[in-house]
Structure 1
């Protein structure tokens, strides 16, 4: 076997791990593949001479590429949302593959990661998800190990929020109701939906989320249940999350936040649902991973 073939074989062994790292940093399968492929091109041009650890070298190259891509992404969050309640994952070259990758990470996690500064995201992903030492992260991000540790710590606070045990005690009941609503919506189970809705429940959709240019209110649990049970395709890309500290739902095809649903729960029944898709309002929603 030639040296080039051996090098290619070694790289292919590392490709799945590198792709997993890049996807968590970038939230896009296509961009992750681009970063991994660029790492291979650099390796094939320069060879492995002088590389003590090929996995570590490749991780460093991919991390730096991802960091640069995050820094130059710039205006992505400022782009206007498409039509309300869009069809899922229209941006993916391979929607099925993108959906599998998003599910492996968690849609809510991808949304929260997307709120981090580039260096924070890289530090958190490498250390908390892939156990890369801070000394190595420091070299990748061109910071000191102490600064790299601080980056990961800030990101961790954003991702995890307050003490999970204390928070769980406060929100467990509402979380159970919201998850029951989501499960019934996914299954198209009309009776189960009706069971978690107050008879006088109202759902309010803002101008971006509603089917018309004006806000829309729908009242009554039968009408709300009918609408929810008919949205199974979109619900497939919806997950529970903490929205401003309260359990709700985020819809994020391929990890791209499109809308959130906040709930008012009284006596274990949903009395109100607010559907938020307006970009300005979405920026005011603090999202944490359950």
Structure 2
């Protein structure tokens, strides 16, 4: 047994760390920035008089939300200067996350991109209410609004998201099946096999961050996406391997070039076809695909 005294502040922070990271990540779409937010949260948390805190979990979520909101506003300027489309930073997640429908949907690439269309306050309110089931009074304290104003913001944000989220829920097994067909088509190099698995109105977004080659604008349409994929992979002279993985709670593909991680492909699926393809190649966004990141909504 250790004789070291137990620090209640540390114990509480560690107990809720995965939750706080998930809150920050869903608000920011960046694991690196979420980690910075957690550090800022910790620095403020250790200065709090715990005897005055009735609900420590809620208090920590409040601090995290405020720090994430501050960072979200500064990130807007970075994204405006970003080269090409900006995609969320992919996270390697445990396979069981894919079976948690609520968690998997809330961190999916498709949902994270929808959240990008909200204002910072709308995003904070939507994430806290819809994903984490935080009460309106607690959200109001976190975003410095009245509970009545928060209810209105939540309603507006929910309506906005509902109009843009996938039209139907798709199981992890359905996504895996479509992904496997997509992977086989890439390996065989048969354009018709690839067209068969792509929805006619598929949208491909690739993120190279100005560091790796990527399309500077979204590519729309099965034939254009097929040409882009076949052309891009075909030009590489180094050995390429494409392996299944689980990213952001959903089946995805990890691309290796000459044995090194080159990118991550996440997809969205409807009616057994790929409707969205999200290809992250920016090496600065691939730091969290080598080891699993624990996520939780509770």
TM-score (norm 1): 0.60
> Given that residues 241 and 248 in structure 1 are in contact (C-alpha distance below 8 angstroms), is that contact kept between their aligned partners in structure 2?
yes
Partner of 1:115 in structure 2? Answer: 117
- The secondary structure found in structure 1 opposite 2:268 is strand
CA–CA distance in 1 between the matches of 2:150 and 2:281?
A: 28
Query: Cα distance 1:237–1:2, how it changes in 2: closer, same or farther (>3 A)?
Result: same
Mark the runs of 5 or more structure 2 residues left unpaired by the alignment: 99-103, 206-212, 235-239, 243-254, 256-261, 283-298
> Given that residues 22 and 62 in structure 1 are in contact (C-alpha distance below 8 angstroms), is that contact kept between their aligned partners in structure 2?
yes
Q: Deviations along 1:176-208, whole A, 9 cap, x unmatched?
A: 9x997754333435388624637xx9x9x99x9
> Given that residues 25 and 31 in structure 2 are in contact (C-alpha distance below 8 angstroms), is that contact kept between their aligned partners in structure 1?
yes
Partner of 1:135 in structure 2? Answer: 137
Q: Deviations along 1:113-152, whole A, 9 cap, x unmatched?
A: 1121000000010000000011111121121212112212
> Given that residues 140 and 150 in structure 2 are in contact (C-alpha distance below 8 angstroms), is that contact kept between their aligned partners in structure 1?
yes
1:239 equivalenced with 2:267 (yes/no):
yes
The structure with the largest helix share of the pair is 1
> Given that residues 182 and 235 in structure 1 are in contact (C-alpha distance below 8 angstroms), is that contact kept between their aligned partners in structure 2?
no
> Given that residues 263 and 279 in structure 2 are in contact (C-alpha distance below 8 angstroms), is that contact kept between their aligned partners in structure 1?
no
Question: Number of paired residues?
Answer: 228
> Larger C-alpha radius of gyration, 1 or 2?
1
CA–CA distance in 1 between the matches of 2:214 and 2:281?
A: 18
Query: Cα distance 1:191–1:119, how it changes in 2: closer, same or farther (>3 A)?
Result: same
1:186 equivalenced with 2:183 (yes/no):
yes
Residue of structure 2 aligned with 1:76, choices 75, 78, 86: 78
Partner of 1:100 in structure 2? Answer: 93
Q: Deviations along 1:77-100, whole A, 9 cap, x unmatched?
A: 322425x9x9x99xx7xx7xx343
Query: Cα distance 1:107–1:46, how it changes in 2: closer, same or farther (>3 A)?
Result: same
> Given that residues 185 and 228 in structure 1 are in contact (C-alpha distance below 8 angstroms), is that contact kept between their aligned partners in structure 2?
no
> Given that residues 111 and 165 in structure 2 are in contact (C-alpha distance below 8 angstroms), is that contact kept between their aligned partners in structure 1?
no
Query: Cα distance 1:222–1:54, how it changes in 2: closer, same or farther (>3 A)?
Result: closer
Q: How does 1:200-211 map to 2 (within 5 A)?
A: none
- RMSD, aligned CA: 4.8
> Given that residues 28 and 254 in structure 1 are in contact (C-alpha distance below 8 angstroms), is that contact kept between their aligned partners in structure 2?
no
Partner of 1:39 in structure 2? Answer: 41
Moved more, 179-188 or 52-61: 179-188
TM-score (norm 2): 0.59
CA–CA distance in 1 between the matches of 2:193 and 2:77?
A: 43
Q: Deviations along 1:62-85, whole A, 9 cap, x unmatched?
A: 111111111222323322425x9x
Query: Cα distance 1:183–1:254, how it changes in 2: closer, same or farther (>3 A)?
Result: same
Query: Cα distance 1:123–1:3, how it changes in 2: closer, same or farther (>3 A)?
Result: farther
**CA-CA distance at 1:57 after TM superposition:** 0.7
Structure with more contact order per residue of length (Cα contacts < 8 Å, sep ≥ 6): 2
Query: Cα distance 1:81–1:138, how it changes in 2: closer, same or farther (>3 A)?
Result: same
Mark the runs of 5 or more structure 1 residues left unpaired by the alignment: 256-290
**CA-CA distance at 1:248 after TM superposition:** 2.7
CA–CA distance in 1 between the matches of 2:215 and 2:124?
A: 36
